[in-house]
Structure 1
C-alpha cells in the first residue's frame, strides 16, 4: 500500500508540477503486476493511483526490465543493460559491482540544470565503494537502503552466501541517511517511513527553496519480497484467502510472492510480457491531453532523456538508448521509439517457464496454465503483440522475413554490447566486519 502512490517491476508514476522548470516526482515500485492495480479491474484497491491515472495519461505499452537492478540501471543511465555490463541478474549485497562511474546518472544531469535532487527508498545500484552510493551519483540526499531486499520493520538484510563449497550467513542493518547509519527506525514500517520523509522533504522545499526545481526519486520497498504489512492493512483484504496475495495487496508481479500479471504470460525475472510489460502513468498540469491512454512504445530508459530535456538540458552527447518522449506522450503523437531490446544475457539466456497464472484468490490456488506443448528444444518465438498481447500463438514459421530481420537487429545490438560484469561474492562485505551494517567495504 502506498500512501503517496506507486512504479512495476513495475509501476511508474511520473508526477510533474508546473514551475519555471517542472518539479519532478518519480515513484517506483518493484514487482507490481499488471493485475495488481485497480484501474486494471483488480481485486486490489488502489483508489489514489486510479484517480491520478484517470486524470493523467496511462501508458499502455510501457516496458521495463524483469528484475530490480536492470530496471534501475536503465532508468538512471538511459542505457540498455548490454551497454552498462549489468545484463546478468542483479547486484547482490556482497557483490563488488555497481552502475559504471563513467556514466552520468539522471540525477547528475538534472543537478546540472539547477535541480535539488533526492532519493528516498531503495538504491540497489551498488555500494561496495562509497563512490557508488547515491550521494556520489548526483543526489543531494539519500534516505533509504542500499541492498535489494530486507525486513520492512527491522530494516535488516539477511543473506545466505555461497563461497566455494561453504555457505555463510550474513546479516546486517541496511538503513542510511546519506552515509550515516539510521538506527532509530526499528519497528517502523518502511512504506510509512519513506512516505513521511517524502512529505517532509516536499514541504520544506516549498517553504525554503521554492525557486529551485525539485527532483524526488521515490523507489518504495513495497511490494517487493519479503511480504510484510501492518495487521490493519491485511484485515482490509480478509476476503482474499490466499495468504501471500492478501499480504501483497497493498517487475512484473512475482507470482510466487503474491503478485499477478493475468492475462499476460509469465512473471518477474522472465522476458515474457508478464515480466516486462509494466504499469505506468504520468500526472501533470503540463499535459495537453489529460484523461487519455497513450499506446505508443515507451521503455524505462526513455525517462532519462525525456526528463532532462523537460528540464532544459541536452543528452545528445551521451549516446543514450532512450528517447525523448515528452512531446509524443503529452500531445498524443506517435512514439519515436520503433523497437526496443529487452536484453542479451551471455551468461544465462533462458526466457522462463512461459505459463499463464490466474489471480490467486483462493487459499491454495496455484492453477498455472501452459498452452504450449513440446517446447524443450525451442529457442525462438515470434508474436504479434498488438493482436496477441497474451503471447498464445507463435507465428515465427509464418513470417520468416520478419524473423530474419529481427535476428539481424539482435546481431547488431550484440555487436555493441560490453562484456557482462558479474564478479564473485566478497567475504569482506560481511556486516559482521563493519559494525553490523551493510555498507561500503572497499576504499
Structure 2
C-alpha cells in the first residue's frame, strides 16, 4: 500500500512539474501586447516626419523599432477601431459607413470576435483598455467588458471634453461599467491608468494585453496654459493647441515605455503605435506632403504614422516600405501569441506580418487595399483601392454599376506619385475600368443592416445620466 502511495505521489509530482515547465515555457515565449492608438494624428504631426512638433518618446520608439512607411487605416475613427479589433474590413459587418455618434443604437456586432477575445483564449488573463472605446455604447453587450476586456477606464464616445470628461452634457468617464469621477486632463489619466495596469500585470509574471486608444489630438482642441507654452512661436491658436495635445500624449507614451523598462519586460513586450486616421483638414500642414485629410480616401486621410517594437524578435532601426494595414495587427498578434486563425468563426482580411517584421521576408504577397466611408449618405461616398503600383479614388454617389458623370475619378501611380499630384486616368482607361470593378465588388459587401449616416436620428437626443447604460 505504501509503495502504491509513493508511486502515486511521484506521479502527481511529475505531472505538476511538467505543468509548471509548460507554463514557464508559454510565459517565456509569449509576448506582452501593447497597442497605442492616436486619434486624428496627422502624417506630418510626429517628430520623425517634421521638426515643428516635439514627440521625443514616439521618435525613440520608432528608432528602436520598425517604422511603417506605408501603413494604412480607414478614413475615420470607428471603422479603424473595428477593423483593428477583428482583423476584418468593417464593411463586412456594417461598420464602415460612419462613426458611432452619441445618439446611435449600434455597435460592433457580437458575432465578431475581438482581439481581446482571441487573447483571452490564448491564455492572456489580463486584458485592459484605457481611453476611447467608440465601438458601441447604447447597450451593455457592446461595452468593453463584454467584448473580452477585463479592465476599462475611459470614455464610450469620441470628442469628450478633456477637462470635465463630458459628452452631450453628461459625464462620459467610466471604470469598467460604472461612471468614474476623476480630476485631470483625459490624456494624462489614460497614460497613468495604462501604466499602472502594465506595472500590476508585470508583477504577476503572465503575458498581458494593453490597448491604449488615446483621445488626443481629436477635437475639442483643449490644452492647459502650461502645455500651450511649449509652442510659443506658433500664433495660430488651433494649431498651437493641437501640437500641445500631441506633446501631452507623447509624455504619456514616455510614461508607458518607462513603466515597461522599469519592470524589466522591454524585450518581451510588443509595442505597436498608429493613428486611427489622418489629421483633420482644419489644421494646416498636419498631413503634409500627403494630399487630403481625415474623411477623404486620399493618402492624407488613410496613410498613418506608425511603428512597432519587439526587441526579442523584430530587429530595430528599420523602415518598411511594404503596404501594411490596420487589419494586419490581429493576425500578427495571433501568430505571436500562438493562436490559430483557423479557430475563428470569421475569415480574416488582414495578413500575418511576423516574417516581414522579423526580417525573414522582405515582401508580402500581392493584395488589394480598400478604403471607404459614407458618413454623409449615399450621395457622397469617398472610396478607393490600392492595387500594386496603382490607386484609384472615386468621389461621388454610391457605386452600383458603371462610372457616371457624377463620379470624380482619379488614378494615381502611387509608387512614384505618393502625394497624388498627377491624375492619369486619360492615359490608362483599362486600368481605371479594372480597378473600378474591384471597388464596385468591395462596396457590395456592405450588408443592408449597417450603421446609418452620421446625422441620422440625432433629433431631440438626450444622453443618459452619466452615460450609465442600462439596456442589455
- Give TM class, smaller chain: 0.7 to 0.9
CA distance in 1 between partners of 2:326 and 2:430 (Å): 29
* 1:24-423 mapped onto 2 (5 Å cutoff): 24-115=33-124, 116-158=126-168, 171-183=169-181, 185-186=182-183, 188-207=184-203, 209-210=204-205, 212-249=206-243, 250=246, 251-257=277-283, 260-316=286-342, 317=344, 318-331=346-359, 332-336=361-365, 338-343=367-372, 345=374, 347-351=378-382, 377-419=406-448, 421-423=450-452
Identify the residue that residue 13 of structure 1 maps to in structure 2: none
CA distance in 2 between partners of 1:288 and 1:98 (Å): 35
Give the count of matched residue pairs.
384
Identify the residue that residue 272 of structure 2 maps to in structure 1: none
Identify the residue that residue 366 of structure 1 maps to in structure 2: none
CA distance in 2 between partners of 1:68 and 1:151 (Å): 17
Identify the residue that residue 11 of structure 1 maps to in structure 2: none
Q: Is 1:329–1:335's contact at 8 Å kept on the other side of the alignment?
A: no
CA distance in 1 between partners of 2:299 and 2:469 (Å): 36
TM, length-normalised to structure 1? 0.82
Q: Unmatched 5+ residue regions in structure 2?
A: 1-26, 247-276, 384-404
Answer 1 or 2: which has greater helix percent.
2
Do the aligned partners of residues 42 and 34 (structure 1) sit closer, same or farther apart at CA in structure 2, a change above 3 Å counting? farther
> CA RMSD for the aligned pairs?
2.0
CA distance in 1 between partners of 2:224 and 2:151 (Å): 28
How many Å apart are 1:402 and its aligned residue? 1.6
1:412 counterpart SS class: helix
How many Å apart are 1:73 and its aligned residue? 0.8
Task: Return 339-348 or 90-99, whichever deviates more.
Answer: 339-348
Do the aligned partners of residues 155 and 242 (structure 1) sit closer, same or farther apart at CA in structure 2, a change above 3 Å counting? same
2:321 counterpart SS class: strand
Greater C-alpha radius of gyration: 2
Q: Is 1:84–1:100's contact at 8 Å kept on the other side of the alignment?
A: yes
How many Å apart are 1:69 and its aligned residue? 0.6
1:117 counterpart SS class: strand
CA-to-partner distance for each residue in 1:179-219, whole Å, 9 max, x for gaps? 11102x14x00111111111111111112x21x21110000
TM, length-normalised to structure 2? 0.77
* Structure 1 position 438 matched with structure 2 position 467: yes
1:26 counterpart SS class: strand
* Structure 1 position 425 matched with structure 2 position 423: no
Identify the residue that residue 166 of structure 1 maps to in structure 2: none
How many Å apart are 1:337 and its aligned residue? 5.1
Structure 1 runs of 4+ with >6 Å offset: 426-429
Q: Unmatched 5+ residue regions in structure 1?
A: 1-17, 159-170, 353-375
